[in-house]
Structure 1
Amino acid sequence: MAVPAAHEFHWQNLARLSSGRVYHSLAEVGGQLYMLGGCDATGRATTCMELYCPEVDQWVSLPPMPTARAGAAVAVLGKQLLVVGGVGKEQHPLKAVEVYNTEEGKWRKRSSLREELMGLAITVKDGRAFAVGGMGADLLPRSVLQQYDLRKDVWALLPPMPTPRYDASICLQGSKIYVAGGRQCKRLVKAFEVFDMDSRTWSSLPSMPCKRSYSGVLWDNTGRLCWLGGLRQGGIHQSSKFTKNVSIFDTNQGSWLKSEETVSMKTKRADFVAAIVRGRMVVAGGLGHQPSVLDTVEAFHPEKRKWESLAPMATPRCSASSIMIRDRLLVVGGVNQIPSSAHEILYVKEEEVV
């Protein structure tokens, strides 16, 4: 199927949040969008939970989380939302674990983590959640890999990662969990490792080409990791710089593509939204060398092998949360000097918009 042309992508403003929000978590259950926690305009973590109702274009308040938190790891286990760790009201990591049953509309406290952790990465396989890394209350990174069984309400430790880190990017491909990048305190990590669930062993892959943070990270349907833009860490006496570089790892070849095989984005940016929409990599908003937050959007055309400009977002912002639901990209909240209440959807015009 041919990918859409640039002019076929359109933005639509949807119902704004009741207040500005950043570092909130988004999850989809049965095609419905849930928003959990985050920081409000005062910078404090909230217990807020809301459901977006497209039929009436409204956000509806749901029972609040038992624990206020921002930056929580959220996993979907059937009809239930598992909420793990994050940062609490006192700006400290949390070990609280809670489950929301979307059919009953009720929260339940579950077995806590062994210690307080923020910056966890989480994925789901065969009805079980796998949480990787994190930063503890001592501000040091962790190498822990833990598995959660919802039915038994038990956390089990699996073999730890070779490289401790938090804020890593992870992806499940078959029976393997790939873990790329992340941070160790203020230092960025180039390590790229994979956990094989069948053999219960970790392997090291070729390190990422450069250290960078606030990148866009995508996995395409061919099993390639695409690392887009971000902030490149400078040397001892050098400042960090925004980049438009694109690095791609091919899991089939087990190597990073050479730089001449990739195509850089049009604009240097970091802390932006990234998604694959109808076969095209899309990046939106973020921060660049300009003094203000970006509203620009571009998409990569795989046949033409070039990035093309799309219509801009109505509300420029960085640190926005995003999610793909039914081939549509929803961008919720973020920051534009203060936390934003904007909620926009990117869709292809040939479709009917809700």
Structure 2
Amino acid sequence: ISDQFWVYDIATDSWSQIGKLPYPLAGAELLAVDNALYLIGGWDGQAAQREVWRYSPPAEGAPAADTDSSTGLAEWALITRMPTARAFFGAVYAKEEIYVIGGYDGQQEEQRADAYMLSTNTWRELPPLPTARGGLRLVYDGLDIVALGGGWTHSLDTNERLDLNTNVWSNFPSPLPGEWRNFGAAEYRGRIYLLGGWSGDYLDIHLQYQSSFSLLLPVIKND
């Protein structure tokens, strides 16, 4: 568990430490939304946390608003708290809301799902996950919220997706049944990429999943 806060410069292929987290954390989520970073929940070594923190990096050539003037290090601002404490959950930004789903509360895996509207600083509860999941990943594929993996204390054979238009969950087969958790996941150009993780041992896998596709049909005109 660490409070280190580093930034990677792609152009120079270099790392630099720009500050610290509010306190040491593991199992937290970090999201980039517009021009800010959001640090959500996590485990501090003794208990799951509820806090949501924001850091706004300075624009190129602009003064650093979220920086301690005496140390030059980044400062985090507490903006809200989740309805429940959790760690090792999934989080993703979609349609102007941050979705926080599943996780581990220190005693058991979670089914709870919530969404945070940044513009109004309010939370709303969503239909719960059909299956409790800890160590899952969340991805937004442009249509649905996709919950992948998990299984902290039990094996899972399916993944689940939330239709944002109907707020209804459905499931689909998992490419790696079992206790698959704490892996990397990202959506890129209609495909979901899954990397590594844990399933009784460390994994070196790289999977690709196409969650949706478009089919163009010819237009038939009646003369």
Q: Deviations over 1:165-217 (max 9, x none)?
A: 11112211112011121024x32322211101111111122344522535855
1:198 maps to 2:165: yes
What is the alpha-carbon distance in structure 2 between the residues aligned to residue 241 and residue 79 of structure 1? 37
Question: Could you tell me which residue of structure 2 aligns to residue 165 of structure 1?
Answer: 133
Q: CA deviation at 1:130?
A: 0.8
5+ residue gaps, structure 2, are 59-64, 67-74, 214-223
Counterpart of 1:85 in structure 2: which amino acid? Answer: G
Question: Could you tell me which residue of structure 2 aligns to residue 120 of structure 1?
Answer: 89
Structure richer in strand, relative to its length? 2
What is the alpha-carbon distance in structure 2 between the residues aligned to residue 101 and residue 230 of structure 1? 30
CA spacing shift, 1:87–1:216, aligned 2, 3 Å: closer
5+ residue gaps, structure 1, are 1-38, 40-44, 233-239, 254-354
Question: Could you tell me which residue of structure 1 aligns to residue 148 of structure 2?
Answer: 180
What is the alpha-carbon distance in structure 2 between the residues aligned to residue 61 and residue 195 of structure 1? 37
Do the aligned partners of 1:231 and 1:242 also contact (CA within 8 Å) in 2?
Answer: yes
Question: Could you tell me which residue of structure 2 aligns to residue 141 of structure 1?
Answer: 109
Counterpart of 1:101 in structure 2: which amino acid? Answer: S
What is the alpha-carbon distance in structure 1 between the residues aligned to residue 55 and residue 188 of structure 2? 30
What is the alpha-carbon distance in structure 1 between the residues aligned to residue 8 and residue 193 of structure 2? 30
CA spacing shift, 1:65–1:191, aligned 2, 3 Å: same
1:50 maps to 2:6: yes
What is the alpha-carbon distance in structure 2 between the residues aligned to residue 192 and residue 162 of structure 1? 10
Question: Could you tell me which residue of structure 1 aligns to residue 35 of structure 2?
Answer: 79
What fraction of aligned residue pairs are identical, expressed as a percent?
19
Do the aligned partners of 2:141 and 2:211 also contact (CA within 8 Å) in 1?
Answer: no
What is the alpha-carbon distance in structure 2 between the residues aligned to residue 201 and residue 145 of structure 1? 12
CA spacing shift, 1:67–1:227, aligned 2, 3 Å: closer
1:251 maps to 2:211: yes
Counterpart of 1:66 in structure 2: which amino acid? Answer: P
CA spacing shift, 1:214–1:114, aligned 2, 3 Å: closer
Query: Which one of 153, 159, 164 corresponds to residue 121 of structure 2?
Result: 153
1:101 maps to 2:101: no
Counterpart of 1:94 in structure 2: which amino acid? Answer: Q
Q: CA deviation at 1:94?
A: 1.0
SS at match of 1:166: coil
Do the aligned partners of 2:140 and 2:187 also contact (CA within 8 Å) in 1?
Answer: no
CA spacing shift, 1:81–1:244, aligned 2, 3 Å: closer
Q: How well do the aligned residues superpose, as a CA RMSD in angstroms?
A: 3.1
How many residues are matched?
Answer: 198
What is the alpha-carbon distance in structure 1 between the residues aligned to residue 173 and residue 15 of structure 2? 46
Larger RCO: 1 or 2 (CA < 8 Å, sep 6+):
1
